[in-house]
């Protein structure tokens, strides 16, 4: 072979080999640290310092150190799913409880914490029962709440309401007349990021609860035959569709996106009068649009009642909390259990949470909330949840992923009047 | 498939054998073909990604027939593919030919045109998502000029697919332009000189010389556009997530939603196999019907 | 007789016969560019495209310099009152330099692998023709249609079996493999346009396959190699799904994964994300500007006529 060509070939092979060596041959374990407790969580600038503080405290006296690894939202679920059951699984992982956690439980990949809790009843009783319940799957406690409660709240723009001389709604009929009033003033009555189905779900969740009470959804979650075909479900769907058709969300809601703050912006700039969203919206507005909040224009209230409805008006829907669970294949189950039991309801951890602006799912925390910068909203949120006879988890987290995704797609079609409530219900019935 | 003997004379000539293609073939078999075989296996199982797959025979395949959404996805995918080809090919061709020309500002502008290629899909999707925001983006300010006063593009059943096709084209036209530019520069100037001597005008030269000379490139580029549109969905995921409802849910997105959001890997594998089958059939069809597989040159007959 | 065939005949007639061994060297300078027709339609397309491209790019650059209040309150294309470099600072604090190094390694090696494997394969496909080679071409046509997401799980299993999890190699191998079909399609197109007369001339002189490859194919396939290099390089630079599933630690993170840091649970920090996008585009852009001359020369490497 020609000398130059040979040199070239040698060069390339050398480069290739060197790079393979440089890039490292990798591992089968998670970064080769089977000697640490790997805690996986969602990336969240609010959460991370709190978790890290808790882990640091644990590490001071623990035989095995714990470390936090975070991932971005969309990627997290897939990453978790792909790794569970493989050698790269985390020891402790963040999840949403409900159906989401049930998938792992049913595959026998999660540790049951009931015994550990029974041995420490004061820890078990520290958590708000309605929140702890969502970490229970088939009579075992598989997850412990690790962050704040996030009920769905009806926000409204005080400035816009004042200008129009109107009051926030107490009943559904109030809401409907508000919709008409704002439409005539060329203001979008309610901001809705309709390009993402989960935002529309909040209306359905509340309406079903108001009309038929929380049992209707429990039946659906338990996959009972005909649970979707319930009269209350159809009525709730119809009311959602009527709200959309009435123009409550404007004509272009299906193009609005929540993640790029399009919907929040619409609300904060006063182009929309109301916004039904999880309580995190408050913190989000505070960091993105501080003037709006500091001016006092951000108002909040509970979801309106429905005349003749069977549901308790104090009921709440939303994300009870997020949970930490322990993977059954972890070599550090005992230490991880200690980590969770000791840390999550400890005073230090709870206080950190409060200071970061969240409302921990812990009983008796009102006193700690007073005097914090956002005390008013935090207290409101806490009271809402503490007084609620039931706290229904967001359906897309409570149901199995397969059913949840179908539901969201069909819901989008419903809001766009592409399908009728009856068709929606039939499609869901076929799936479950 | 029979391959005609290439037009290279001489029985004495040795031809490059399989050993030249072996590294590529082996490498691709390991990382491309073997996984597809595994996916084929998975299509006959029920698996949610955890635990072990459970053999269920043809249950998933039967479910395909019942799945109205799958049929709908196929139709949407077809529409998107055609749209993408119609937008990308003429535009890339013209731009490539222009870039191969003698204009002085060509260099600066070519650099600019090249930039979309450098951006990641996430960046592009996010940018367009903001530009198409119906209340605060360009769609709000300019929407009324195109007959859409409320700026509702990505959320409209009718318009979403066009918007998506436009964004995808924006991303990939630079690449195809590059292909056409390279090929256009290869066209011997002599052909144009001769045509000029014959008194042919620019348009005639374009139709009679440029286009036929670019035939190989048009086919290669078209195969890439068609098969690419069939399997591409990252932008769509970020722009509309298949919405509104299912108006832009192309087949690969349907597969992704079923497999990675709904964690029904078995059924998602069925869709994956379907995708590969359709894509391969299409590319083989294009290649055979245009005679591409005969490996002929566009410059046949130009003896030196 | 059509204009096309007439032109070909005329060109053939006026050419002197070449009987000596042809040494092929790409022409220097702008020899090929003189006298090409100026196409009005193409010019119009170019102007239209200029606007379409410039506006989003302007948006990206501008937004990366905004504060988040300004992003919320001002219009999309209106320059804000106060520009800020905070977003860039934030991005760099995140450890972007590691990401850039990792991405560079992945990209360079992927490009080398793809080119080193695809060109010989294309050579065999176009100039060879054994049954095995034809089967290879069909396999790659099949490979074009395989979406990466469909096979990500089997690939994940394969990578873990090979003990390559959480390494840059884990990203490189599947990325290179999935760039091969496109590379083969483009290179076969380029190679088959190599004039037969050159090929025949060299063969008559007794050149073997290796020599033909070295002296004929390699130099003349430069335009195709450039296109393939660019596309597979960019694929590797911007690839997301393989790094996502096959790596884990921050030391192995590549730029696209780093970009997604700007998505928190409840919303996207758009100015931050776009600043990261600009930063991640800068190395590639610099490379392009620097290598533009080379690029143009390769693209204009035609056959001296």
For C36-68, write each residue's pLDDT tens digit.
666 777 888 888 888 888 888 888 888 888 877
Per-residue confidence at C301, pLDDT binned at 50, 70, 90? low
Scan residues 257-276 of B and list those with Cβ closer than 8 Å to C: 259-260, 265, 268-269, 272, 275-276
Are residues B257 and B136 part of one domain?
no
Query: What is the pLDDT, as a whole number, of residue A274?
Result: 96
Note whether B136 contacts A250, CB cutoff 8 Å.
no
Query: What is the pLDDT, as a whole number, of residue B299?
Result: 60
Query: What is the pLDDT, as a whole number, of residue B165?
Result: 94
Per-residue confidence at B297, pLDDT binned at 50, 70, 90? low
Query: What is the pLDDT, as a whole number, of residue A90?
Result: 92
Residue B152 has pLDDT above 70, yes or no: yes
Across the range B278-300, mean pLDDT stands at 76
Query: What is the pLDDT, as a whole number, of residue C299?
Result: 59
Q: From the CB of residue C279, how many other CB atoms can be counted at a distance below 10 Å?
A: 21
The two beta strands, A136-137 and A140-141, are antiparallel
Q: Which of A250, A254, A260 sits opposite B156 (nearest CB)?
A: A254
Chain A contact present for C231, CB below 8 A: no
Per-residue confidence at C9, pLDDT binned at 50, 70, 90? very low
CATH number of A36-149+320-391: 3.40.190.10
How far is the alpha carbon of C247 from chain A, nearest alpha carbon, in Å? 9
- Residues from chain A contacting residue B242 (CB–CB below 8 Å): 409
Are residues B262 and B129 part of one domain?
no
**Closest to A305 measured CA to CA, from A314, A313, A295:** A313
The beta strand positions in chain B, using DSSP E, are: 45-46, 54-55
How far is the alpha carbon of B239 from chain C, nearest alpha carbon, in Å? 14
- Output phi, psi for C106, to 5 deg: -60, -45
Scan residues 250-279 of B and list those with Cβ closer than 8 Å to A: 257-258, 260-264
Note whether A412 contacts B243, CB cutoff 8 Å.
yes
The distance from CA C141 to its chain's CA centroid, rounded to whole angstroms, is 19
Residue B1 has pLDDT above 50, yes or no: no
Query: What is the pLDDT, as a whole number, of residue A74?
Result: 66
Residue A270 has pLDDT above 70, yes or no: yes
Are residues B98 and B134 part of one domain?
yes
Longest Cα pair distance anywhere in chain B, in angstroms? Answer: 74
- Residues from chain A contacting residue B154 (CB–CB below 8 Å): 195, 254-255
Per-residue confidence at C74, pLDDT binned at 50, 70, 90? low
Residue B223 has pLDDT above 80, yes or no: yes
Across the range C16-23, mean pLDDT stands at 42
Query: What is the pLDDT, as a whole number, of residue A43?
Result: 79
Query: What is the pLDDT, as a whole number, of residue A26?
Result: 43
The CATH number that applies at residue B166 is 1.10.3720.10
Residue A28 has pLDDT above 50, yes or no: no
CB hemisphere CA count around A32 (13 angstroms): 9
Per-residue confidence at C179, pLDDT binned at 50, 70, 90? very high
Residue C88, Ramachandran bin (φ over 0: left; ψ between -120 and 50: alpha; else beta):
alpha
Chain A contact present for C151, CB below 8 A: no
For A388-423, write each residue's pLDDT tens digit.
888 999 999 899 888 998 999 999 999 999 999 999
Chain C contact present for A198, CB below 8 A: no
In a domain, B76, yes or no: yes
Query: What is the pLDDT, as a whole number, of residue C163?
Result: 86
Q: Map out the domains of chain A as residue ranges.
A: 36-149+320-391, 150-318+400-431
In a domain, B4, yes or no: no
Note whether B24 contacts C2, CB cutoff 8 Å.
no
Compute CA distances A83 → A40, A73, C251, whole Å.
11, 16, 19
Compute CA distances C155 → A131, A172, A338, C177, whole Å.
39, 52, 36, 11
Size of interface B-C (CB pairs under 8 A): 423
Note whether A36-149+320-391 and A150-318+400-431 share their fold: yes
Query: What is the pLDDT, as a whole number, of residue B13?
Result: 59
Note whether B129 contacts A257, CB cutoff 8 Å.
yes
Query: What is the pLDDT, as a whole number, of residue B164?
Result: 94
Across the range B250-260, mean pLDDT stands at 88
Per-residue confidence at A380, pLDDT binned at 50, 70, 90? very high
Total domains in chain B come to 2
Across the range A130-139, mean pLDDT stands at 87
In a domain, B298, yes or no: no
Torsion sign across C-alpha atoms C118, C124, C127, C133: negative
For A275-299, write each residue's pLDDT tens digit.
999 998 998 888 778 889 989 999 9
In a domain, B286, yes or no: yes
Chain C contact present for B80, CB below 8 A: no
Percent above pLDDT 70 for chain A: 92
- Residues from chain A contacting residue B134 (CB–CB below 8 Å): 252, 255-256
Chain B contact present for A302, CB below 8 A: no
- Choose between A259 and A231: higher pLDDT: A231
In whole angstroms, give the CA distance from residue C64 to residue C92: 13
For A107-130, write each residue's pLDDT tens digit.
899 999 999 999 999 888 888 888
Across the range B221-227, mean pLDDT stands at 89
- Is residue A330 within 8 Å of A91, Cβ to Cβ? yes
- Residues from chain C contacting residue B29 (CB–CB below 8 Å): 139
Are residues B115 and B237 part of one domain?
yes
The two beta strands, C263-264 and A66-71, are unpaired
For B21-67, write each residue's pLDDT tens digit.
899 999 999 998 899 999 999 999 998 877 778 898 889 999 888 88
Across the range A209-223, mean pLDDT stands at 93
Q: Which of A60-69, B90-99, B138-147 has the lowest mean pLDDT?
A: B138-147
In whole angstroms, give the CA distance from residue A230 to residue A227: 6
Chain C contact present for B173, CB below 8 A: yes
- Residues from chain C contacting residue B280 (CB–CB below 8 Å): 141-142, 144-145
Are residues B44 and B178 part of one domain?
no
Residue C297 has pLDDT above 80, yes or no: no
Are residues B264 and B169 part of one domain?
no
In a domain, B118, yes or no: yes
- Output phi, psi for C184, to 5 deg: -65, -45
In whole angstroms, give the CA distance from residue B186 to residue C304: 10
In a domain, B23, yes or no: no
- Is residue B188 within 8 Å of C302, Cβ to Cβ? yes
- Residues from chain A contacting residue B132 (CB–CB below 8 Å): 255
Per-residue confidence at B213, pLDDT binned at 50, 70, 90? confident
Per-residue confidence at C16, pLDDT binned at 50, 70, 90? very low
In whole angstroms, give the CA distance from residue C254 to residue C239: 9
Per-residue confidence at A20, pLDDT binned at 50, 70, 90? very low
Across the range B187-191, mean pLDDT stands at 83
- Choose between A267 and B201: higher pLDDT: A267
Note whether A107 contacts B241, CB cutoff 8 Å.
no
Q: Which of C133, C199, C223 sits opposite B8 (nearest CB)?
A: C199
Chain A contact present for C170, CB below 8 A: yes
Note whether A284 contacts C249, CB cutoff 8 Å.
no
Chain A contact present for C194, CB below 8 A: no
Query: What is the pLDDT, as a whole number, of residue C201?
Result: 83
Note whether B243 contacts A252, CB cutoff 8 Å.
no
Residue to mutate among C149, C254, C291, with most B CBs inside 10 A, is C149
Residue C304 has pLDDT above 70, yes or no: no
Q: Which of C15, C123, C230 sits opposite B20 (nearest CB)?
A: C123
Percent above pLDDT 90 for chain A: 52
Give chain B's mean pLDDT: 83
Note whether A24 contacts C260, CB cutoff 8 Å.
no
For C119-132, write each residue's pLDDT tens digit.
999 999 888 878 88
Per-residue confidence at B122, pLDDT binned at 50, 70, 90? confident
Are residues B96 and B50 part of one domain?
no
Q: Which of C72, C244, C263 sits opposite A288 (nearest CB)?
A: C72
Q: Which of C41, C117, C197 sits opposite B94 (nearest CB)?
A: C41
Residue B291, Ramachandran bin (φ over 0: left; ψ between -120 and 50: alpha; else beta):
left
DSSP secondary structure, C201-259, as one string: HHHHTT--HHHHIIIIIHHHTHHHHHHHHHHHHHHHHH--HHHHHH--SGGG--HHHHH
- Among all residues of chain C, which has the CA nearest to that of B124? C56
Note whether A254 contacts B244, CB cutoff 8 Å.
yes
Chain A contact present for B152, CB below 8 A: yes
CB hemisphere CA count around B274 (13 angstroms): 21
Neighbours of chain A (3+ CB pairs under 8 A): B, C
Query: What is the pLDDT, as a whole number, of residue C293?
Result: 66
Residue B304 has pLDDT above 50, yes or no: no
In whole angstroms, give the CA distance from residue C192 to residue C124: 11
For the CA atoms of A78, A84, A89, A91, the dihedral, rounded to the nearest 10 degrees, stands at 110
Contacts of A254 (CB under 8 A, 6+ apart): A194, A195, A412, A415, A416, B152, B154, B155, B156, B243, B244
**Closest to B211 measured CA to CA, from B183, B233, B237:** B183
Per-residue confidence at C296, pLDDT binned at 50, 70, 90? low
- What spatial distance separates the first Cα and last Cα of chain B, rounded to whole Å? 32
Across the range B185-204, mean pLDDT stands at 82
Q: Which of A196-205, A381-390, A421-430, B78-87 has the lowest mean pLDDT?
A: A381-390
- Choose between B114 and A114: higher pLDDT: A114
Per-residue confidence at C34, pLDDT binned at 50, 70, 90? very low
Query: What is the pLDDT, as a whole number, of residue B300?
Result: 54
H helix intervals, B206-299: 211-213, 215-231, 234-239, 251-256, 265-289
Across the range B243-264, mean pLDDT stands at 88
Query: What is the pLDDT, as a whole number, of residue A229?
Result: 94
Are residues B111 and B206 part of one domain?
yes
Q: Which of A23, A268, A280 sits opposite C266 (nearest CB)?
A: A280
In whole angstroms, give the CA distance from residue C233 to residue C239: 10
Query: What is the pLDDT, as a whole number, of residue A23?
Result: 44
In a domain, B230, yes or no: yes
Across the range B277-292, mean pLDDT stands at 82
Q: Hey, which CATH number is domain A150-318+400-431, 2.60.40.10, 3.40.50.300, 1.10.275.10, 3.40.190.10?
A: 3.40.190.10
- pTM assigned to the model: 0.82
Chain B contact present for A74, CB below 8 A: no
Give chain A's mean pLDDT: 87
Query: What is the pLDDT, as a whole number, of residue C15?
Result: 43
Residue B258 has pLDDT above 60, yes or no: yes
B145: domain range?
A: 70-247
- Residues from chain A contacting residue B255 (CB–CB below 8 Å): none
Chain A contact present for B157, CB below 8 A: yes
In whole angstroms, give the CA distance from residue B182 to residue B93: 11
Neighbours of chain C (3+ CB pairs under 8 A): A, B
Which helix (DSSP H) or strand (DSSP E) does residue A26 occupy?
A: none
Question: B53 in helix, strand or coil?
Answer: coil
Which helix (DSSP H) or strand (DSSP E) does residue A150 occupy?
A: strand A150-157
- Output phi, psi for A18, to 5 deg: -60, -45
């Amino acid at each position: 072979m020609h000398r130059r060509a040979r040199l070239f070939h040698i060069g390339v092979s050398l480069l290739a080999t060197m790079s393979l060596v440089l890039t490292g041959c990798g591992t089968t374990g998670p970064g080769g640290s089977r000697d640490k407790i790997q805690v996986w969580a969602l990336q969240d600038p609010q959460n991370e310092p709190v978790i890290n503080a808790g882990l640091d405290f644990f590490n001071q006296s623990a035989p095995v150190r714990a470390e936090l690894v975070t991932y971005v939202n969309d990627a997290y679920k897939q990453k978790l799913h792909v790794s569970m059951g493989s050698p790269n699984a985390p020891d402790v992982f963040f999840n949403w409880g409900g159906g989401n956690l049930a998938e792992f439980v049913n595959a026998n990949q999660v540790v049951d914490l009931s015994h550990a809790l029974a041995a420490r009843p004061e820890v078990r009783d520290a958590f708000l029962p309605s929140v702890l319940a969502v970490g229970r799957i088939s009579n075992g406690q598989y997850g412990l709440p690790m962050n704040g409660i996030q009920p769905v709240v009806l926000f409204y723009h005080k400035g816009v309401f004042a200008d129009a001389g109107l009051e926030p709604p107490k009943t559904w009929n109030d809401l409907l007349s508000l919709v008409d009033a704002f439409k005539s003033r060329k203001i979008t009555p309610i901001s809705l990021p309709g390009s993402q189905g989960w935002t529309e779900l909040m209306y359905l969740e509340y309406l079903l609860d108001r009309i038929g009470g929380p049992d209707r959804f429990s039946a659906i979650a338990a996959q009972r035959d005909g649970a979707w075909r319930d009269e209350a479900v159809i009525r709730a769907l119809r009311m959602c569709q009527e709200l959309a058709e009435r123009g409550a969300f404007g004509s272009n809601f299906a193009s609005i996106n929540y993640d790029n703050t399009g919907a929040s912006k619409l609300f904060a700039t006063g182009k929309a009068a109301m916004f039904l969203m999880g309580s995190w919206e408050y913190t989000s507005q505070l960091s993105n649009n501080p003037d709006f909040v500091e001016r006092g224009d951000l108002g909040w209230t509970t979801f309106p009642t429905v005349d003749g409805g069977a549901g308790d008006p104090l009921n709440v829907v939303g994300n009870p909390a997020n949970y930490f669970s322990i993977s059954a294949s972890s070599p550090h189950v005992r230490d991880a259990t200690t980590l969770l039991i000791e840390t999550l309801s400890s005073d230090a951890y709870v206080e950190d949470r409060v200071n970061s602006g969240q409302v921990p799912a812990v009983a008796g925390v009102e006193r700690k909330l007073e005097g914090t910068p956002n005390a008013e909203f935090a207290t409101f949120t806490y009271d809402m949840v503490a007084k609620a006879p039931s706290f229904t988890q967001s359906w897309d987290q409570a149901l199995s992923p397969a059913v949840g995704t179908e539901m969201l797609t069909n819901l989008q079609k419903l809001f766009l009047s592409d399908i009728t409530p009856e068709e929606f219900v039939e499609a869901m019935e076929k799936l479950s | 498939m029979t391959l005609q003997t290439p037009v290279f004379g001489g029985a004495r000539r040795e031809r490059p054998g399989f050993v030249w293609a072996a590294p590529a073939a082996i490498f691709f078999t390991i990382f491309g073909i073997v996984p597809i075989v595994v996916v084929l296996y998975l299509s006959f199982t029920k698996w949610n990604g955890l635990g072990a797959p459970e053999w269920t025979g043809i249950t998933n395949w039967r479910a395909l027939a019942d799945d109205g959404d799958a049929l709908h996805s196929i139709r949407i995918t077809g529409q998107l593919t055609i749209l993408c080809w119609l937008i990308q090919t003429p535009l890339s061709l013209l731009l490539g030919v222009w870039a191969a020309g003698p204009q002085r500002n060509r260099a600066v502008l070519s650099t600019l045109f090249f930039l979309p290629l450098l951006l990641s899909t996430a960046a592009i999707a996010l940018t367009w998502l903001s530009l198409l925001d119906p209340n605060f983006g360009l769609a709000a300010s300019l929407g009324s000029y195109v007959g859409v006063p409320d700026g509702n593009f990505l959320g409209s059943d009718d318009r979403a697919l066009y918007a998506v096709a436009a964004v995808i084209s924006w991303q990939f036209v630079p690449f195809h332009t590059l292909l056409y530019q390279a090929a256009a520069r290869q066209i011997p100037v002599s052909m144009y000189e001769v045509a000029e001597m014959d008194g042919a005008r620019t348009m005639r030269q374009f139709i009679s010389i440029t286009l036929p000379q670019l035939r190989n490139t048009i086919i290669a580029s078209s195969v890439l556009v068609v098969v690419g549109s069939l399997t591409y969905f990252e932008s769509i995921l970020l722009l509309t997530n298949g919405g509104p409802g299912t108006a832009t849910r192309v087949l690969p997105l349907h597969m992704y939603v079923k497999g990675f959001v709904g964690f029904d890997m078995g059924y998602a594998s069925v869709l994956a196999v379907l995708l590969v089958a359709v894509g391969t059939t299409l590319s083989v069809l294009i290649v055979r019907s245009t005679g591409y597989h005969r490996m002929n040159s566009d410059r046949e007959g130009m003896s030196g | 007789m059509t204009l096309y065939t007439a032109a070909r005949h005329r060109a053939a007639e006026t050419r002197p016969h070449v009987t000596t061994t042809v040494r092929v060297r790409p022409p220097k300078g702008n020899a090929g560019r003189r006298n090409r027709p100026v196409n009005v339609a193409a010019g119009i397309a170019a102007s239209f495209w200029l606007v379409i491209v410039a506006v989003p790019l302007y948006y990206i650059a501008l937004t990366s310099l905004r504060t988040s209040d300004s992003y919320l309150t001002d219009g999309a294309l209106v320059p804000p009152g106060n520009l800020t470099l905070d977003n860039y600072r934030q991005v760099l604090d995140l450890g972007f330099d590691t990401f850039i190094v990792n991405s560079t390694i992945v990209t360079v090696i992927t490009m080398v692998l793809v080119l080193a494997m695809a060109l010989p394969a294309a050579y065999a496909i176009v100039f060879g023709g054994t049954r095995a080679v034809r089967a290879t071409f069909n396999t790659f046509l099949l490979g074009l249609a395989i979406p990466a997401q469909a096979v990500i799980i089997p690939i994940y299993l394969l990578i873990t079996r090979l003990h390559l999890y959480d390494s840059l190699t884990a990203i490189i191998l599947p990325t290179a493999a999935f760039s091969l079909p496109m590379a083969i399609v483009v290179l076969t197109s380029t190679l088959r346009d190599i004039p037969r007369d050159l090929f025949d001339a060299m063969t008559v002189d007794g050149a073997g396959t290796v020599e033909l490859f070295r002296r004929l194919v390699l130099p003349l396939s430069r335009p195709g190699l450039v296109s393939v290099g660019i596309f597979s390089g960019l694929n590797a630079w911007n690839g997301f799904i393989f790094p996502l599933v096959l790596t884990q630690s921050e030391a192995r993170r590549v730029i696209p994964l780093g970009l997604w840091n700007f998505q928190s649970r409840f919303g996207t920090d758009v100015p931050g994300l776009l600043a990261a996008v600009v930063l991640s585009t800068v190395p590639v852009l610099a490379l392009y500007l620097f290598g533009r001359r080379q690029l143009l020369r390769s693209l204009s490497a035609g056959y001296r006529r």
